[in-house]
Structure 1
Amino acid sequence: MGVPQPPPPSQHLYPQEIQLKLYQAFIFSIPILFSIILVLLFYLFYLKRRASSLSSPPLHILPSTSTDPQTAYPYSTQPCRLDLTVQFLDKLPRILFDEDLRTRDSVCCVCLGEFELNEELLQIPYCNHVFHISCICNWLQSNSTCPLCRCSIIPSSKFLNPAPPIIISDPPQQGGISGSSSHIMSLPHQQEEEVGASTNTTIFQGNDV
């Protein structure tokens, strides 16, 4: 008698194997499903935020009801320094570069380029520094000071509004002479500032003898 051969493997799966396959598929699908749900939640949150931002009414700036111009428009009364700088730019003196200036200034501090003899330069009268015309014009578009020493290009108020002269009338001469002569007296620097701060011109008149 021959040795009995084992039966061939069945092509059908047992119930335990089917359950194992299903369990493995379920385990692998859980992270994927969780990721999809998380992405959908973030997308819904984004849509909600965008819808709320679009539906919100725009902000309107209410006009000021204050009658005081300084409180209603706090910046309108402030002087524009750049406009003054451009205004005084045309009044700055222009000089020709020579040997005397070479010993003092030989390089433009804006572009670091050397000056040439007989070259027309722009000079700041308050510090006597010289620059190329194009360089200082570009500099003063956003600045109001000297590029080298930082002194102000715009003169102070005593130069913009000079103090009025004080007129002193001489008393009439004795002997019936009715004519009088007036003189303009120049004030010292300290008195000029005091007169410039006042709003009225002081006039001294002589008393009749």
Structure 2
Amino acid sequence: MDILKFLFHLFILFPVIYTSEDYCRNSWCSENNILIRFPFQLEDEGDRYPYCGYPGFSLTCTNDSKTVLTLPYSGVFYVRRIDYLGHHIQVYDPHHCLPNRLLSLNLSGSPFDTEFLTNYTLLSCSTPNLGSQFTPVDCLSNSTHFVSATPSLSFPNSLPQSCHVIRNISVPVTTSYQEIFSEDLQLTWSSPDCRYCELLDSMCGFESRNSNHVRCSPNHQTDRSQDGHSHGSLLISRIIILSIGGIAMLCAIGIGCLTHFNRRRRTISDEPAIDITITRMRMGLDESTIESFEKIVLGESRRLPGVGHTDGTGCCSICLSEYNGKDIIRCIPECKHCFHAHCIDAWLRMNATCPICRNSPSPSHSHLHISSS
């Protein structure tokens, strides 16, 4: 009769679970704009649903539908893109002079950080075109003085008489020197870590309203544009659930009766079916097999030994982030396709095939070593 009790409680709880309007929704500042979801949240929704956003990840919208990130000690930035899988947020200066903002950039009091910092020296000169080692900073220049930047490590021993040093700054970098003073600044965050949920195409959120721990849950987000239909859909859902629940209760009674009369006829022959089901549910590779695949620590050349990455400009096919020096890479033995180690490890725990060619790696041909390229 235990199954009857279980289905009875399930029948009672289903309407409560599915008719609750107290859930976290996706948000946008306008149609076709940047998707805002956990850990981010619009500030005006934080008062009603404080458990739908992580502390420090509040965003706002401007009157012209721009998405805004406000840093406690560095002010307002506009958001261009949010990469939930890679834990990156790409922002830019509303006045289109990011170098001026970098002069006083302070990420204290926020959950964000920069991946790499490089020291640069800013110069002010009375004439432009100092040389190829100097990058002009047009938005800080005017008709009487021209501002340029150069890496502090390659700073020349002597400067033209028309120049003087403004100051040294630490500049966040993501790729190359040529992009050092582009319009965008890329920030990253480490907590909360929702990358595993993103790989599973699940929704990341708090375990409960009184917990700071996050967990993955099925993605049942509702578009804001559907809010006008939500109450009607809710009523229909209740009717359907109650109807299904009634049928389920009748079936449960029948199953309970059959279970009661056939309990003594059960044999141990049922156990292999359970084992087969468990075996089928496990689709990925075991941890020892994954760890046996080749690991590489990238050198400054960023060249991979795998297929199609010979010029050092490749990116991980799972998170779509470019490789950087000292990144830890794992390669699949047979096909030689390479990825970020943490990306391919999470993939292989759920899938037994290469995400690019779909070939199944053979543990007998794998090997493990740490090297630099």
TM-score tier by shorter-chain length is: 0.3 to 0.5
Larger helix percent: 1
Structure scoring higher RCO (CA < 8 A, sep ≥ 6) equals: 2
Larger strand percent: 2
